[in-house]
Amino acid sequence: MKDKLIIFDTTLRDGEQSPGASMTRDEKVRIARALERMKVDVIEAGFPAASQGDFEAVQAVADAIKDSTVCGLARALDKDIDRAGEALKGARSSRIHTFIATSPIHMQKKLNMTPDQVIEYAVRAVKRARQYTDNVEFSPEDAGRSEEDFLCRILEAVIDAGARTLNIPDTVGYSMPQQFGATIANLIQRIPNSDKAIFSVHCHNDLGLAVANSLSAVMNGARQVECTINGLGERAGNASLEEVVMAVRTRQDFFNCDTGLDAREIVTCSKLVSSITGFPVQPNKAIVGANAFAHESGIHQDGVLKNRETYEIMRAEDVGWTTNRMVLGKHSGRNAFKTRMAELGVDFAGEAELNDAFFRFKQLADKKHEIFDEDLQALISEQGFEAEDEHIKLVALKVCSETGEVPNATVTIRVGGKEMTGCAQGGGAVDASLKAIESLVKTGATLALYSVNNITNGTDAQGEVTVRLENAGRIVNGSGADTDIVIASAKAYINAVNKLQSPDQRQHPQKGDV
């Protein structure tokens, strides 16, 4: 019988700490639902003490999720623990994750505390967290650069105080796989009460070693890995969930543990996170990159046609790449649409939501002959975006782009019940359109990112546009999809402005008061 490897996903917390990867409360809930469908064991939903918005986002995830444990992060401070405990009240299964730094440089320069004081804070935090839940995790931050003797002392103390998961973070991505694995083995062996806790790892990717370090730890006794979809995360990111899960699954001859994940949900989850955060997935990214299963060279193609195992160690469909992706068309009915959506994990809240989605599907099918799963997902993403306080709506857009002339755009939007029209010139059709919208909404925000990705192939493919706006410490991502990328851009800009002006006053965690 193999051990269970617990998958702790921190896309919504550490992932959101990537510069610009902010998510609204509703977006966090949508990603959490996708993670739950994938059977992720623990979902770290945020850092409730960071801001009122983050508190509410964790609360919303805790209320929505039934099958995964929902976790909130807290510094080793009473006020943080209480906020986390409060935010997680509605969860069917909750965990509080508390941390304090243990490396000499962090203790001296950041905390200005002695090692004994750090232990005192850690123990107090764990005991306080235990008043809210039996499921308490402790992390010695910057463990990768901490002294092993000190780690043994503090970890023994927090186990005695009631911590049941000990997470060893390589906070700055400094460790080497062999060394990190040895540290895990030593801690498990040296800490007298180590059998009362599960050892976990949390690796950052500064040297590109986050997955290698995590797997080395697993080989040395770690039974929880903290990771993120697409490897999103602070700086160079965290260990990528899909790579860890598929490495362990593909090399079952090597690992004496496995996860309980439904890997067929991986690609859907990856696309959802990418479209919400506006962080595209590089084509050659393992597992979820568009080329991860594509064979270009003749020799490879020939080999795969004769026997796919000549060049493939995993099956694309096992991680959610569908081979027959053309699912619906102009003549498909409401039932076929609803059925395919259910297969993609989309449940409509009621008839009105289904009707709205079906109407949009028909509109798209008029413009685009073949509708793929990716188109359906974009459709739902858009519906999700619009559901969130879509105070401003795009009514009409006319652009004039001609060789030798300055492009200009005329845009009509509805703000509340009132229609307004604005015109602007720009360097191109997109620039003119966004300037025309800005002349009406006057956000004064900085455009931090503009990106276009084609959702499927062909010149009739939908373009998915992401726009990132930053204003007074708030960072928001807007998305829009359309077969016309100028319209997609206008939708994305309006979507971002709606978020910027929404009452959900969540600041990006990096801009919060923590």
Binding site partner of 499, from ligand KIV, Zn ion, none, Cβ cut-off 5-8 A by kind? none
Q: Is 202 annotated as a binding residue?
A: yes
Specify the residue, 212 or 455, whose C-beta has the smaller distance to ligand KIV.
212
Q: What is the DSSP letter of 253?
A: T
* CA nearest to 57, candidates 65, 45, 75: 45
Judge contact between 63 and 88, C-beta under 8 A: no
In angstroms, give the least distance from the CB of 235 to Zn ion.
9
How many Cβ atoms are within 10 Å of 67's Cβ, its own excluded? 12
Handedness of CA 189, 191, 192, 194 (dihedral sign): negative
In angstroms, give the least distance from the CB of 160 to ligand KIV.
21
Specify the residue, 169 or 463, whose C-beta has the smaller distance to ligand KIV.
169
Specify the residue, 101 or 436, whose C-beta has the smaller distance to Zn ion.
101
Specify the residue, 236 or 257, whose C-beta has the smaller distance to Zn ion.
236
Handedness of CA 505, 506, 512, 514 (dihedral sign): positive
In angstroms, give the least distance from the CB of 446 to ligand KIV.
27
Tokens matching residue 173:
């991505």
For ligand KIV, the binding residues in 151-180 under the rule CB under 6 A are 167, 169, 171
Binding site partner of 25, from Zn ion, ligand KIV, none, Cβ cut-off 5-8 A by kind? none
Count residues binding Zn ion (CB under 5 A).
1
In angstroms, give the least distance from the CB of 505 to ligand KIV.
24
For ligand KIV, the binding residues in 70-129 under the rule CB under 6 A are 73, 99
- Site map 1..40 versus Zn ion, x via CB under 5 A: -------------x--------------------------
> At 369, which amino acid appears?
H
> At 349, which amino acid appears?
A
Binding site partner of 141, from ligand KIV, Zn ion, none, Cβ cut-off 5-8 A by kind? ligand KIV
Cβ neighbourhood burial of 91 (10 Å; 0-12, 13-18, 19+): buried
Judge contact between 157 and 189, C-beta under 8 A: no
Which three-class secondary structure string do you get for 385-402?
Answer: HHHCCCCEEEEEEEEECC
Q: What is the DSSP letter of 282?
A: P
Binding ligand KIV (rule: CB under 6 A), the pick from 202, 223, 368, 435 is 202
In angstroms, give the least distance from the CB of 70 to ligand KIV.
16
Q: Is 44 in the site for Zn ion (CB under 5 A)?
A: no
Judge contact between 465 and 451, C-beta under 8 A: yes
Judge contact between 338 and 389, C-beta under 8 A: no
In angstroms, give the least distance from the CB of 202 to Zn ion.
6
Specify the residue, 202 or 368, whose C-beta has the smaller distance to ligand KIV.
202
Binding site partner of 139, from Zn ion, ligand KIV, none, Cβ cut-off 5-8 A by kind? ligand KIV
**Contacts for 250 with CB less than 8 Å, ≥ 6 apart:** 313, 314
Q: Is 262 annotated as a binding residue?
A: no
Judge contact between 462 and 483, C-beta under 8 A: yes
Q: Is 300 annotated as a binding residue?
A: no
Q: Is 238 annotated as a binding residue?
A: yes
Binding site partner of 99, from Zn ion, ligand KIV, none, Cβ cut-off 5-8 A by kind? ligand KIV
Radius of gyration, CA atoms only, the chain: 24
Binding ligand KIV (rule: CB under 6 A), the pick from 141, 242, 373, 470 is 141
Distance CA 37, CA 49 (A): 28
How many Cβ atoms are within 10 Å of 252's Cβ, its own excluded? 11
Distance CA 234, CA 170 (A): 12
* CA nearest to 42, candidates 146, 159, 135: 135
Annotation: binding site: 14, 202, 204, 238
Question: Would you tell me which residues interact with Zn ion (CB under 5 A)?
Answer: 14
Residues that bind ligand KIV (CB under 6 A): 14, 73, 99, 139, 141, 167, 169, 171, 202, 204
Please report, in range form, the residues annotated as the binding site for Mn(2+): 14, 202, 204, 238
